[in-house]
Amino acid sequence: MKWTQSFIRTLREAPREAEAASHKLMLRAGLVRRLSAGLYTYLPLGLRVIRKVEDIVRQEMNKKWAQELLMPTLQPREIWEQSGRWDDKELGMLKLKNREEREFVLGPTHEEIITDLVSKEVRSYKELPLNLYQIQTKFRDEMRPRFGMIRAREFIMKDAYSFDVDEGSARKSYQDMSEAYSNIFRRCGLKTQVVEADPGAMGGSKSEEFIALADTGEDIIVSCPQCPYAANLESAGRGEEEPGKSQEKIKPLEEIETPNIKTIKELKDFLGERPEKMIKTLIYSADGKTVAALISGNEEISEVKLRKNLKCENLQMADEKLIEEVTGGPLGFSGPVGLKKIKIIADGGVTKIINGITGANKKDKHIKNVNIGRDYSPDEVADISYVREGDKCPKCEGALAMRRGIEVGHIFNLGRRYSQSLGAKFLDEKGQERPAIMGCYGIGITRTVAAIIEQNHDENGIMWPMSISPYQVHIILLNVNSTETVEVADNLYKQLTREGVEVILDDRDERAGVKFNDADLIGIPLRLTISPKRVAEKKVEIKRRRDGKEFLVDIEQAVEKLEELIQEGG
RNA sequence: CGGGGCGUGGCGCAGUCUGGUUUAGCGCACUUGACUGGGGGUCAAGGGGUCAGCGGUUCAAAUCCGCUCGCCCCGACCA
């Protein structure tokens, strides 16, 4: 491609709306343009990268015997009612009606559609296992799209779905995908970490996220420096701490006046006590049952961990009415003392609080010197708070560390949830009908591109890994008025193209500085500079974007040298 | 959805507080010409704006008031 004939548009300055490095660079290098919040046009240069990532994904999926298909984006309401997810709040479904008032959703994911398909097509265990995938545009009506490609309303995703006859086979399918994902991200030049995660809206038993480490990432991952343990913040666990021996003497219970003091912060300011002394009491409704969760005032509850502990599907904070009903006191004054009607589950940290402060279940009253065992007894002690930096690893003695990252892939073992509700059943060897065991596996393609940039850029621009770079070689022609130089550039361009090398030739009548800066910005791994000065010596220059290493070679050797560098991966 | 900020040629901004001094300005980009030619060069001449939209106040509105829309950031939520 010659620059003067291409639709490459670079920007000297980033639009003000862009914050993240990848977002700024994608706009500046002319990979994408914004249409509206979270909606982007992929320009030719950006699309080339997307296609390369997709190709890697296809190759690795096909290696695991997954087969590609393509499903509709517009999906009728009925099928989502069957799976029970029509009213799901977590998926951010964009719903719409046609002229006949029929309701549809723009697919945020495709479990329903694939399961319906398989239920109609698969009859026998002999047809399993099966893994089907697609690469397609997904819609999520994000409340707040941000960071450009990292959280968009419309994005390209690869989603795969596996169907197996039994748990053993399903484990193999899951393992295959895990391997495929590692290969895909490695080939894209991304450093990822696999973490334990919460299946959330997808349901199912096991799930892991592939996180690309990046400071601008939205996800916080917790990992142990001494063992392989890693999890996302929501579901990370901690090891049991040694019970600290406190010298503090247990004091008698005392009711105190706390007019209109409802939050831990207000209580801290009012009493001058440390939050560590306070027992936060949160009332939840879990699948219809009411429970009280106790957390130390300086900790935050992880609803993911609580839900996991309670083994419930639907977990919501109780409203004021329910709180009054079960505690006898208004919102903001709940406490475990005297709570009889409901299950009490205490975070591990709470059990260490001696002479604690908590709500009295009466308006404008708290009680102090509350002690476990004497004043209240939780039905269960569990780990339900967010871990913090330095907490003990649940698997070893290490101290947990935290890092930020971007979730680029997520794999789930779904079990029978969808196959049951949507009737994806088969006949086993004994002629018995059984629902298939499913797994689903997603990769955010566009987000992966953003993550690659987050991990591969410097102050001047992008540094594409060779495997997904839009072009492999960027020829810079200095001085378009020198006939001889132009001739050399044209010849090399033709030769390289003939050899199958993807090359872009900057043939604009621009100053050297402009061309060099644009080359750094769009980040092609190898730069070939052809100038009158060097041509006079029968030489050309090759420079590697990644480390700035330069090679001065004879014109006749340029193609060979470039091919060698491409083989090395730029 | 809560809090904050912003909206002025393609991009980045000034002007708004204190209405009139501006025919709405600057840098970059763009067009034409000349010079120049190894890290965003110089000179000259140009094109491009319903000052987000609607309504109001006023002799007079980019500027004051009201409403609406859009965008960004923090939070909540989240494949």
Q: Of A82-86, A87-91, A161-165, A512-516, which range is least confident?
A: A87-91
The DSSP annotation for A451-488 comes to HHHHHSEETTEE---GGG-S-SEEEEE--TT-HHHHHH
Q: What is the pLDDT of residue A198?
A: 75
Average pLDDT of A258-266?
82
Start-end of H helices in A424-570: 445-455, 483-498, 512-522, 532-535, 558-567
Q: Is the CB of A92 under 7 A from strand B?
A: yes
Provide long-range contacts, Cβ within 8 A and 24+ apart, for A427-433.
Answer: A427/A123, A427/A124, A427/A125, A428/A125, A428/A165, A429/A125
Indicate the pLDDT class of residue A81, thresholds 50, 70 and 90.
very high
Contact A141, A114 (CB under 8 A): no
Helix axes A445-455, A21-28, angle to 10 degrees: 100
Residue A240 three-state SS: coil
Q: Is the CB of A420 under 7 A from strand B?
A: no
Which of A138, A160, A136 lies closest to A62, judged by CA?
Answer: A160
Could you tell me where in chain A the CATH 3.90.960.10 domains are found?
254-382
CA-to-C1' span, A154 to B7 (A): 25
Residue A495 three-state SS: helix
Average pLDDT of A176-187?
97
Q: For chain B, which bases have at least one atom within 7 A of a protein Cβ?
A: 1-2, 11-13, 27-29, 36-41, 70-79
Segment holding A366, helix H or strand E = strand A365-370
CA-to-C1' span, A6 to B13 (A): 30
Q: What is the pLDDT of residue A507?
A: 95
Which of A51, A54, A157 lies closest to A409, judged by CA?
Answer: A157
Q: Is the CB of A141 under 7 A from strand B?
A: no
* Nucleotide in closest CA–C1' contact with A407: B79
> Across chain A, what does the average pLDDT equal?
91
Q: Is the CB of A273 under 7 A from strand B?
A: no
Q: Is the CB of A146 under 7 A from strand B?
A: yes
Segment holding A411, helix H or strand E = strand A401-415
* Nucleotide in closest CA–C1' contact with A482: B37
- Express each pLDDT in A443-464 by its tens digit: 999 999 999 999 999 999 999 9
Q: How far apart are CA A424 and CA A253, in angstroms?
A: 59
Indicate the pLDDT class of residue A535, thresholds 50, 70 and 90.
very high
The CATH number corresponding to A14-236+402-453 among 3.30.930.10, 2.40.110.10, 3.30.300.30, 3.40.50.300 equals 3.30.930.10
Q: Is the CB of A248 under 7 A from strand B?
A: no
CATH 3.90.960.10 fits A254-382, yes or no: yes
Bigger pLDDT: A192 vs A325: A192
Average pLDDT of A217-244?
86
How far is CA A310 from each of CA A23, A287, A380, A411, rounded to the nearest angstrom?
Answer: 40, 10, 10, 23
Is the bond leading into A129 cis (omega within 30 degrees of zero)? yes
Q: How far apart are CA A494 and CA A488, in angstroms?
A: 10
CA-to-C1' span, A20 to B4 (A): 19
Residue A206 three-state SS: strand
Q: How far apart are CA A516 and CA A3, in angstroms?
A: 13
Which of A417, A418, A428 lies closest to A114, judged by CA?
Answer: A418
* Nucleotide in closest CA–C1' contact with A300: B76
Indicate the pLDDT class of residue A520, thresholds 50, 70 and 90.
very high
Residues 169-208 of A, Cβ under 7 A from nucleic strand B: 198, 200-202
Average pLDDT of A237-245?
76
- Express each pLDDT in A382-429 by its tens digit: 889 889 888 899 999 999 999 899 999 999 999 998 999 999 999 999
Which of A322, A335, A321 lies closest to A258, judged by CA?
Answer: A335
Start-end of H helices in A39-137: 44-63, 77-83, 111-121
Locate A198 and state its tokens.
């919460």
Q: What is the pLDDT of residue A203?
A: 61
Q: Is the CB of A106 under 7 A from strand B?
A: no
Indicate the pLDDT class of residue A249, thresholds 50, 70 and 90.
confident
Average pLDDT of A492-513?
97
Average pLDDT of A327-354?
88
CA-to-C1' span, A142 to B15 (A): 37
Could you tell me where in chain A the CATH 3.30.930.10 domains are found?
14-236+402-453
Average pLDDT of A196-211?
78
Centre a 10 Å sphere on the Cβ of residue A302 and count the other Cβ atoms it contains: 23
* Nucleotide in closest CA–C1' contact with A23: B72
The ipTM assigned to this model is 0.93
Contact A526, A566 (CB under 8 A): yes
Q: How far apart are CA A427 and CA A431, in angstroms?
A: 5
* Nucleotide in closest CA–C1' contact with A234: B78
Indicate the pLDDT class of residue A244, thresholds 50, 70 and 90.
low
Residue nearest to nucleotide B36 (CA to C1'): A511
Q: Of A111-120, A383-392, A529-538, which range is least confident?
A: A383-392
Average pLDDT of A192-207?
77
Q: Which amino acid is at A498?
A: R
User: Over 80: is that where the pLDDT of A241 sits?
Assistant: no
Q: Is the CB of A529 under 7 A from strand B?
A: yes
Q: Of A245-249, A299-303, A536-540, which range is least confident?
A: A245-249
* Nucleotide in closest CA–C1' contact with A447: B79
Average pLDDT of A144-148?
88
Fold of the domain built from segment(s) A471-567: Rossmann fold (3.40.50)
What residues contact A439, with CB distance under 8 A and at least 6 apart? A161, A162, A164, A170, A173, A174, A177, A204, A411, A412, A413, A414
CA-to-C1' span, A166 to B35 (A): 79
* Nucleotide in closest CA–C1' contact with A138: B79
* Nucleotide in closest CA–C1' contact with A516: B39
Q: Is the CB of A300 under 7 A from strand B?
A: no
User: Over 90: is that where the pLDDT of A297 sits?
Assistant: no
Q: Which amino acid is at A142?
A: E
The DSSP annotation for A117-180 comes to HHHHH--BGGG-SEEEEEEEEEE---SS-BTGGGB-SEEEEEEEEEEESSHHHHHHHHHHHHHH
Locate A441 and state its tokens.
């596996």
Residues 329-388 of A, Cβ under 7 A from nucleic strand B: none
Indicate the pLDDT class of residue A204, thresholds 50, 70 and 90.
low
Q: Is the CB of A536 under 7 A from strand B?
A: no
* Nucleotide in closest CA–C1' contact with A531: B38
CA-to-C1' span, A28 to B29 (A): 13
Give me the percent of chain A exceeding a pLDDT of 70: 98
User: Over 70: is that where the pLDDT of A200 sits?
Assistant: no
Q: How far apart are CA A46 and CA A42, in angstroms?
A: 6
